[in-house]
Structure 1
């Protein structure tokens, strides 16, 4: 797998040291990031990703990120490679003290891209831990990702590649790297942002483009989706899919070790998403739900 790296204004060798030992992103996870699909040499939904990057930084109390610098770095990385499939922008608060207190910056910006294969299916498990919807970084794409690492190792130990969790109320929330959609009855519903889930880029586009295509899809009311809805998925009375920039709209093939079926509305939504994405590689942001 080929990996390209941009840092400090220059393209770098993959194994070249690029972060200071005292960088707050390294020492305490004080940073934000975005992962994007690369299609035909372009970062998909770039405007939306950059808007969320700025939102995450603001929620973290970081100074505003220089969007022009990020765009320039992305352009240099994409121009330097062929066959790239995934791009990540990581921004930390920069050098800081050996404590939780933040330093004075400047930001550390790193852009990486590779040509790794796309994920082709999702095998998920439920985890015993919960997302804190009252956390100061709930809904933020933060580099403080240790919770997700623990959950993913739990999933991998059980032959899965995604972990699904509840929030503190026991309501369905999200996956470690994805949002979740449930096809139940004659509609598709997804946990609301009030559940503590990330405002996923593909989640938002699925809601918009699905509605445009007259697919019955909506954000659930707070508390509407209990974790028990996943028992309905295993029983075949409901269906599930995950959404992310690396999966798009991807139906679950297994849940807690049991094979599960694909819902017709979710399969239609996946096709609608692919068709719309082929027509518009950088859809303008709309209001999140």
Structure 2
């Protein structure tokens, strides 16, 4: 049963990134009705931001589809270890790789460690990001350097280092946002990075077709993840999700199914495209 906006109480966290373990109610990363059918059998996925939120759900559903996963995260060890436990309970391997994705060398090391320990790499999910509630007057070079290094540069780094290991049939999936299409005055720098990710996705898709690699994106709307108590004050967290036609927040599992589809042969005729799990908001393609 979906969590309604009225079930989201005011809350905040001192930690940044926020931790899923401290959220009320807990995000829904899985559902009993989801039955894997071997869509990703034998594949290996690297998921940035895989410790919690959408990334955790992607890791769990990929495991249900018989893939092994490596998850990259900053320092949310409790959340990451819980994701690892969930994946391993499904009989799959889950490699934890903590570190700063704004650092190019770390991104290279994360890819190499994935290949060394899990044997190969078939699916790259560029998902990790940071965001800030801000006005244009708040933004300086340090802020821009931080958010673009995490939200955009890391996508370039991971893709560059993953490419030598990817082969025909491999996939790259980038998390952009509804804000890339509609804009968001209070999340100015974040929305701008998500627009860059949209352009990156479209720009990479055609040249990588020569190698048989598909590149697509997912643009979530208001999803109940640690991103929300991380960025917004308690009064804006309360009732989160009412702004969309469905009048409720989406859950990570309602987004992760898009990542399963785009990673599998079900989407074999799709590249350079973006899926929109956003609660009914109509945006440009």
TM-score, normalized by the shorter chain, greater than 0.5: no
Query: Which structure has greater strand proportion?
Result: 1
Q: Looking at both structures, which has the greater relative contact order when contacts are Cα pairs under 8 Å and sequence separation is at least 6? A: 2
- The structure whose Rg is larger is 1
TM-score (norm 2): 0.27
**Higher helix residue share:** 2
